[in-house]
Amino acid sequence: MTAPILQVDDLRVTFDVPVRGGWPWTPARKLQAVGGISFDLQPGEVLGVVGESGSGKSTLARAIIGTVPSTGGILFEGQDLSALGADARRSRRRDIQMIFQDPLAALNPRMTVGDIIAEPLTTHFPKTPRAEVRQRVQALMERVGLLPNLVNRYPHEFSGGQCQRIGIARALILNPKLLICDEPVSALDVSVQAQVVNLLRELRRDLGIAMIFIAHDLSVVRHISDRVMVMYLGRLMETAPARAIVERPRHPYTQFLISSVPIPDPALEKARPRPVLEGDLPSPLSPPSGCVFRTRCPKAKPRCAAEPPPPYEVGPGQRATCHYWDEPTPMVQAAE
């Protein structure tokens, strides 16, 4: 087995939140956005990260890329990113690129598409001949499904799906080894979502690039991912191969996420039970003791409040942080 391209060990991200109405000397409250996430990523592998809004998915991505401070270990090709100096980290950033959620907001409206795509290349390699830059930009535009003759147009002249393709081309201009996709299809129409996901699958197949694909829609994540990681309130609930997590989900939260994925057949969709999660997502400023999911979990028992569950081995390559993962989950049915 090859060495992982990315190793994340006990990653934690904590923010200081000022107390509203407090005195200037009142200490800030601690908000733990990511609480002890660990995983490995193999070269060419796609890891899906799924969870509700507020589960810490995007913060995890920004911690890996280095735009928010974090503690814990982040090793990229065996090299500790937190121990690198500014120049070495800048060099490493060429190998890790990111695609953002809002395609239009991520592009500079005052720059042409050609300049937007070429900017990382001209920043990291300023001596690259202009003819070569132009050739690489046009080749990438064609590769992601854009006409090269649109190179001098501006972002507002493109649709949302086209803007996301521009963002993908920009991320690929440096030939990265890891691509972090932060909800790249959530702002797009359903038909366009499928096109962008299929494009990313083709790029992964042709370029052998590793990806972290973040989304809140499990049906999208399982379509592209080799493994899936489920997060809730900054903690890891379950991780497993994509097929196993769909066919044999062990954590109650994962089971609710699976049951919320619609079935294309209207008759089957109408006939099947529709379980729902009771209650609201707790505030990350005061998370529940023990298991953070216990306030909404139908399996919750006194042990869940007293003792945070460790990641239990529940199957081949599958882990679930639930004390009672092997017990059936009583589903709460939605009212008709």
Which residue's entry shows tokens 């500014």? Answer: 86
* Contacts of range 219-225, beta carbons closer than 8 Å, 24 or more positions apart: 219/261, 219/262, 220/185, 220/193, 221/48, 221/49, 221/50, 222/48, 222/246, 223/197, 224/46, 224/48, 224/197, 224/200, 225/46, 225/47, 225/48
Residue 328, pLDDT > 90, answer no
In 10 A of CB 146, how many CB atoms? 21
What mean pLDDT comes out for the span 36-62? 93
pTM of the model: 0.91
Q: Which residues, other chains included, contact 28 with Cβ-Cβ below 8 Å and sequence gap of 6+?
A: 16, 17, 18, 19
Q: Would strands 235-241 and 227-232 be described as parallel, antiparallel, or unpaired? A: antiparallel
| C-beta of residue 218 within 8 angstroms of C-beta of residue 261 | yes
CATH architecture type of domain 6-18+28-232: 3-Layer(aba) Sandwich (3.40)
Residue 185, pLDDT > 70, answer yes
Mean pLDDT of the chain: 89
In 10 A of CB 122, how many CB atoms? 14
* Per-residue pLDDT at 1: 63
Radius of gyration of the chain measured on its C-alpha atoms: 21
**In the chain, where are the structural domains located?**
6-18+28-232, 255-336
DSSP H helix total and E strand total for the chain:
11, 12
Q: Would strands 178-182 and 227-232 be described as parallel, antiparallel, or unpaired? A: unpaired
Residue 335, pLDDT > 50, answer no
Q: Which structure tokens are listed for 263? A: 């079935």
* Per-residue pLDDT at 216: 85
Q: Which residues, other chains included, contact 194 with Cβ-Cβ below 8 Å and sequence gap of 6+?
A: none
